[in-house]
Chain A
Amino acid sequence: MHGVRSHLPIRGKRLDHCGPVGALAPVVPVVPTVTILPSGVSPREFTVAVGDRVTFINNDVQPHDIAGGPDPATPDCREIDAVGFLLPGQSRQTAPMATARACDYHDHGNHTPVFNGRIIVR
């Protein structure tokens, strides 16, 4: 994965702080995350594997309505529609990204380009 924010755990990595000393830490699945900020979505583009879900977190003070496709007139990548309407502070996941392809998404309620992004599924 490139472009994903650095604080995210890496797929399959054992996290030492998660269990008692000497015990195997649980494997934490990677949940690629898109953060929605007043300035736009971050990251704007990144890559996930087929079958992954993507979490969208709304850290803006306004609600956002995330849907697949580059704009309302071109709906696409229906997995992303599962995110839908997010109040400030809310988060929700996409459905598993089913097909290897580039998936654009947009904010259905705010068509400003900074709220458009792309998920590359490989």
Chain B
Amino acid sequence: MLAAFGAVLSQPVIVLGQEPPTTPATEVHEHIAVTAPLLVPTRDTSGTAWQPSATPMYGTHRPWRGWDARLSGALFVEGLYEPGDRHRTGGASNRQGGSINWGMAMLRRRLGGGRLGVRTMLSVEPWTVPGCGAINFLAVGEVCDGDTVHDRQEPHDLFMELALDYDRALSGAWRWQVYAGVAGEPALGPPAYLHRRSAMANPIRSVTHHWLDSTHVTFGLVTGGVYNQRWKAEMSVFNGREPDQSRVDVDLGALDSVAARLSFLPTDRLALQVSAARLHDATTNFPFRSQEPVTRVTVSALYHVPVGPRGIWATTLAYGANHAREIVSAGVLDATTVGALLESSVTLSDRHTVFGRGEVGGMPAHHLHAHEYSTSVFAVGKVQVGYVRHLRATRGLVPGIGGSVSMSLLSRELAPRYSGRAAPSVAVFFALQAARHQM
């Protein structure tokens, strides 16, 4: 798969945007000067989410049988070390190897006065992430071996996105858009971490994922919205059930969850969003988990600043809140829990990336399987810093070598499960990522 991916990326760049392949590349690369809407605006990111317009493109655009094809992706081969674990799902484990990976293909063309997009995103993590997921202190969510997952980041499904989008002029600068698929991302939360520039160099998933962007793999959704250059309002109906433990199928379900999001780009460097959702049967696979709807609210800001000709500083600040009424061991936990994330990365000259992340939140004890405190919510936190040395790009792919250290911060009650109130984690990895698109 990688060989094919690299071969496609290595083809000569001919076209970015919408017009005939005979157009000189230097002209169609003038993003701002193009009067007709671009087929793939730089603000477009995961699902229908927006990032700042001043974001470099990573990956490539190619003409292909009348379509404009965009390819992107990433592969990390990682070694993880988390001393002190005593209880995680899938068995206590302090060391683990594996690969985090995804590849994305998007085709767009003009059709019927509008733009049609065909989108897919795949991952082979079902085969490259062993056990119930990559070890990751405080990461929770979804199911494995008949149990809810904690202290691991579950592998992504093979099919992360299988969707179509269509968009057309509405009135003046306003356009309408429909995005629908058997797999995709509803209008909820900030862009998924895989697509956030502030997280792209980092293979470790955030702890607050299930407060912010966990619905980025949703099996069954329809999103409709209207937008102009600065504003976007959209609404989704979707299947809010988390994927089951079989990671190679499509877990379709009733479209009985709803979400709405308002996005705003006050400048080319800043993207804001506020969104809310009502998720039905989000965790239906486990009997002690909530069967009542979960209400989620998220707010986020993404700020991207160029640093020299080939650098970027990308920062995400996000806050999410979940309200759920859950039946737990000792009764009912009727609580609103919150998570906040600040992550940032600086890439210099496409050679060095330094990244960091800080998170705090209220973690329901039963999400960490602290059964004896099942009606409690504990304050937890996690900080991480890392570095990647990017090597010479080859065939449209950039290899790199990196690592990170993290510290999970725990309450006194949780400390015995982690051998202390501060639990360290170390990651080293080889990365292969789509290169910055050449302008």
Contacts and interface: CB of A to CB of B under 8 A. Distances in A.
Contact of B370 (A75, A85, A87): A85
Interface stretch (B171-179, B193-201, B348-356, B371-379): B371-379
Residue among A75, A85, A111 with the most chain B CB within 10 A?
A85
Contact of B86 (A63, A68, A73): A63
Tell me the interface secondary structure of chain B in the complex. loop
Interface string A1-27: 000000000000000000000000000
A84 B146 contact: no
A71 B146 contact: yes
A82 B371 contact: yes
B268 interface: no
Contacts of A92: 372
Contact of B87 (A75, A82, A85): A85
A72 interface: yes
Contact of A75 (B145, B287, B417): B287
Contacts of B329: 67-68, 75, 78, 81-82
Given A72-B146, A82-B329, A108 B369 contact: yes
Interface string A57-73: 00000010101100111
A85 B372 contact: yes
B335 interface: no
B254 interface: no
A44 B287 CA distance: 26
B373 A84 contact: yes
Given A78-B329, A78-B330, A81-B371, A65 B87 contact: yes
B66 interface: no
A63 B416 CA distance: 9
A65 B48 CA distance: 43
A110 B372 CA distance: 17
B416 A85 contact: yes
A62 to B, nearest CB: 8
B92 interface: yes
A83 B288 contact: no
B244 interface: no
B147 interface: yes
A96 interface: no
B288 A75 contact: yes
Contacts of A82: 329-330, 371-372
Nearest to A92: B372
A66 B32 CA distance: 62
Interface string A100-122: 00000000111100000000000
A55 to B, nearest CB: 13
A7 B61 CA distance: 77
Contact of A81 (B87, B91, B92, B372): B372
B246 to A, nearest CB: 15
A31 interface: no
Interface in B380-417: 416-417
Contact of A73 (B87, B147, B373, B417): B147
A37 interface: no
B147 to A, nearest CB: 4
Contacts of A72: 145-147
A81 B371 CA distance: 5
A20 B206 CA distance: 63
Contacts of B91: 109-111
Contact of A65 (B146, B288, B369, B373): B369
B92 A109 contact: yes
A30 interface: no
Contact of A63 (B87, B88, B371): B87
Contacts of B92: 109-110
B146 to A, nearest CB: 3
A95 B330 CA distance: 9
A81 B416 contact: no
B434 to A, nearest CB: 39
A81 B330 contact: yes
B229 to A, nearest CB: 51
B146 A73 contact: yes
A109 B86 contact: yes
B420 to A, nearest CB: 12
Contacts of A71: 146
Given A65-B87, A71-B146, A75-B287, A87 B371 contact: no
Given A84-B371, A85-B372, A85-B416, 10 more contacts: A67-B371, A71-B146, A72-B145, A74-B146, A78-B330, A81-B330, A81-B371, A82-B371, A108-B87, A111-B91
18 contacts: A63-B87, A63-B416, A65-B369, A65-B417, A67-B371, A72-B146, A72-B147, A73-B146, A75-B329, A81-B330, A82-B329, A84-B372, A85-B87, A85-B372, A85-B416, A92-B372, A109-B88, A110-B92
> What 8 A-B pairs come out closest when comparing CB atoms?
A73-B146, A84-B372, A81-B329, A72-B147, A81-B371, A78-B329, A109-B87, A84-B371
Interface of A: 63, 65, 67-68, 71-75, 78, 81-85, 87, 92, 95, 108-111
